[in-house]
Amino acid sequence: MEAYVGYFLYFLSLLTVGGIYSIFALGLNVNWGFAGLFNVGIVGFAAVGAYTYALLTTAESTYHIGGFGLPLPFGMFAAMMTSAVIAGFIGLICIRLRADYLAIATIGIAEIIKLILKNETEITNGPRGINKIPRAWEHFSEERFYTSWPMSWFGTLENWEAFFDTLPNWYWQPLFAGTILLVMYVIYRMLERARTSPWGRMMTAIRENEPAARAAGKDVTRRRIEAFIIGAAIMGLAGSLFAQHLRLIEPTNTFDPSKVTFLVWVMLIVGGSGNNRGAMLGAFLIWTLWSASELFITGAIDLIGNIFSTLDPSILQTRAGFLRMMLIGILMQVILQRYPGGILPEVRPASPKADKNIAGTTGESK
């Protein structure tokens, strides 16, 4: 029975992290798939969202500023807003840059954000990071929550302790995974509506032929900034969920560009840029393969160590992370050879007028 519970929890873990990466990929799809903005600063917006959430929702601490103990939904909303405001400021300065120059600028901004988080120790606790970040549903079992409003209305400290003692210690995992999948679905539905709206068609026109869109009277700069802000806000929300999942964040290893920016880009390209379903499919697929690659690489290193007795396996073990990235890179090349537009390529939204004309020509009625 314990083995089945273990498999179930591992499956929930895949859904949880896959869902968080799906939200990252949906945000990047707004930037790149909708508007053609080459944003390589994903990790910067993720860090802003994660730290905003952590500072607002953790308990009071002498190690960093904040610790306001605010409600979790407020922390998530603030994470979105903070990322959006920073993206708006960056967009006003950098949005007119061409694709490759914008990529360089966003890389630099992401590194600046990480350096600020690392060096402003009085605010962020520097390299030691912030721990005990409250996780949705699990936080109900923390004393500071069930001894305060509104949980304190429904039971005493002894009642709540007795209640949580009756639950398995993983009770929160299905609820947390379900919450992330629900958030992902809501964002997907909103973005699908935006994609098929006049705004979405205008973004496609700007992405495909910016001079023509400008000549047609479209405010290209404003629309590009809008897409940049919306994508960054979604990334900030994903960053707050990432912080909840990890419960400990610090600026160096948690927000390593190779584990956030690189993976999210691979997810979007493999799944299908411009297609929200493709972004989500790519996220779950690549995260599952990334998780499985750890077992594969570890097994391969052990096998090589047994075959070549003179070789020290620890040399390869220290490079396991790079081998996993190489494996994912090769996989992306193989998939793109077979599916150049991604597994689920973009489907262009049709104009309602075009639909009416087609219906009139064929005599069909809705």
Most confident range (mean pLDDT) of 27-41, 298-312, 322-336 is: 27-41
Structural domain count of the chain: 1
Q: Is 261 among the domain residues?
A: no
Q: Is 107 among the domain residues?
A: yes
Whether the pLDDT of residue 83 is over 50: the answer is yes
Q: Is 95 among the domain residues?
A: yes
Domain region containing 164:
1-254
Q: What span, in angstroms and rounded, lies between the C-alpha atoms of 111 and 106?
A: 9
- Can the peptide bond before residue 150 be classed as cis, meaning omega within 30 degrees of 0? yes
Whether the pLDDT of residue 56 is over 80: the answer is yes
Q: Is 181 among the domain residues?
A: yes
Span 176-219, pLDDT tens digits: 999 999 999 999 999 999 999 999 999 999 998 989 999 999 89
- Single out the residue of 76, 33, 54 nearest to residue 234, CA to CA: 76
Residue 37's region, left for phi above 0, alpha for psi from -120 to 50, else beta, is beta
**DSSP character for 345?**
-
Q: What is the pTM of this model?
A: 0.91
| Average pLDDT of span 171-176 | 94
Q: Is 69 among the domain residues?
A: yes
Span 212-268, pLDDT tens digits: 999 999 899 999 999 999 999 999 999 999 999 999 999 988 998 888 999 999 999
Please tell me the predicted confidence (pLDDT) of residue 365. 43
Whether the pLDDT of residue 130 is over 90: the answer is yes
Please tell me the predicted confidence (pLDDT) of residue 360. 57
Q: Is 281 among the domain residues?
A: no
Q: Is 286 among the domain residues?
A: no
Q: Is 13 among the domain residues?
A: yes
Mean pLDDT check: name the lowest of 71-85, 135-149, 302-316: 302-316
